[in-house]
Structure 1
Amino acid sequence: MKKEEKIRLGISIGDLNGIGSEVVLKTFEDSRMLDFCTPVIFASVKILSFLKKHYKSNTNLHGIDKTSQILDGKINVLNVWKESVSINFGQEDEKVGSYAIKSLVAATKALKNDDIDILVTAPINKHSIQSEEFKFPGHTDYLDQELNGNSLMFMITDDLKVGLLTDHVAVKDIAETITPELIEQKISTIHNALRQDFGISKPKIAVLGINPHSGDNGVIGKEDEEVLKPTIQKINDSGKLVYGPYAADSFFGSNNYKAFDAVVASYHDQGLIPFKTLSFGKGVNYTAGLHKVRTSPDHGTAFEIAGKNQADNSSFKEAVFAALKIFKNRNEYNELTKNPLKKQPRKPQNKAGREQKL
């Protein structure tokens, strides 16, 4: 029997002045991780060797210059650049931010070309990445453009899944951003993700109100009565199990969320504050709505502890396992629905990374 090809896990390195490289190195210090996947870190073997020494990590790195040299059983580091980079832990630095984007762009290209199967992104600093070439608020918007998707920020654990109608939108703009079309699109994305990526055949979805107490029948804002409620009813009439709006202030504290497969929050903090309170360190940020799988840890660059060897890699490791599981679930779903998206077998390579002639 032919040995099954391992899933290729691409990793964008994030902000080198933050904790991203630390949690990546710590995750793959455990050699058993190579039983599950073949990691490909998009960065520079020179800079990661420096960081490995700084953190006293025993992670073995395998430097490569092109994706055809990727080897199973190795922690591959694809050299996106070879020049030296000045690291100042905990500092916001546009130059360092530019290397985070070089890594992301290279990893995304490899994902589009099927040189890697899934992508896990280490944290970036949203301010230092801005430039004339990159004007996105974060990973999600960039990947949405590059992968032609309808992306949705979906925060997940085994027991709690929270999606957002609006993510990086200023509070003053939330109400006017939420339209019936947006609600239908986001809930459709969540419904499809729950079915194909998490194996839930008939998902139940709760929707939180836009205003305090879901508007109190129009006393505290009209959006819940005029926009949210009729749209939820329309979606429910179509056969999806979608309920709400529920008052957000008591929904999580009363454990109501446990009766649903996913919760839809109207805006960023409404969903992420309870999610991170209940699951910090175990949560994963999953970008639903793309034809490729991307996850990330549920934390940022943590400049305050960067370089101190204090970072907890639990969330990054969870992001790796979530991406692997979603990839397998999605392939099984596509096979069952007669639309297989199986991994195409790659041309065999010798140890030098060159294609063997058959």
Structure 2
Amino acid sequence: MSATVQTPTTRPQIPVTVLTGYLGAGKTTLLNRLLTEEHGKRYAVIVNEFGEIGIDNELVVDADEEVFEMNNGCICCTVRGDLIRIIGNLLKRKGTFDAILIETTGLADPAPVAQTFFVDEEVRAVAKLDSIVTVVDAKNVVARLNDSHEAAEQIAFADVILLNKADLVPAAELVALETRLRTINPTAIIHRTERCMISPTEILDRRAFDLDRILAIEPDFLGEDAHEHDDAVTSVALRETQPIDVNRFNQWIGTLLREKGLSILRSKGILDLKGSPNRFIFQGVHMLMEGDDGKPWGQDEARDSKLVFIGRDLDAVELKAGFAACVA
């Protein structure tokens, strides 16, 4: 499926946060915290399998109801079919909740969930992927990375990582773990947590797919040029100081993702497009990509274009040459 820069929608979109992480990492603990916090907001919650989630008694979903409103103002639904259909049904209730939370199973690749918000036009018109949050078990993550490719993919897809159960691991090991996570995903924000204790503002409404906002908080978010090696999943970061030709870029990225999108888990970047006063923000999941205008470039600001790929069997030399050929 081709990847073409899309024009931004003018309709308001409901933010969607995906919670992922390997079995036992603490996803349900995090979900329960988000639902029971005194935040004054109402959330719709989609879970992969009702039988697995094990929400606390006060958050139990009626198995005979697809949508069930909780006493605390949250709405929960169990997935019994196509995610697009579920979201479509939820959005018919627009105005009754502020955001959607999706919890994947512990063995899930988060890509299909993320792709839903790229491929279905009706969903895209009313809902926007806000961020992917991955909960990592600090005590067991090394073993999981050695025996499970899903664990590596969950980390690779993350916009925010909770290094959970940090109290069970010595400080020196935590530093080494963060370094290991960075070799898999150099752009995610990492928080150390115990029992997933974290402010909801660090998880929800992050607009992590709005790289413009994240860079305002963390200027080094995209990192320096690098090609990190760690097991199967690696990252390649690219930078160009000259303006980018939008047609050349579309042709290159479209061909690249069509041919190698299965190996490219995530792609993201900020581009200086020739003739545009605004930076261009783009995000990709496997073969799919979407883009949007960001804030204007500052008068004295260095208008560098930055691009990051996370995936398997990435050819850094080939990617750098392809990006360089997009210069106007």
TM norm structure 1: 0.35
Greater helix share, 1 or 2?
1
Q: Which has the larger radius of gyration?
A: 1
TM norm structure 2: 0.37
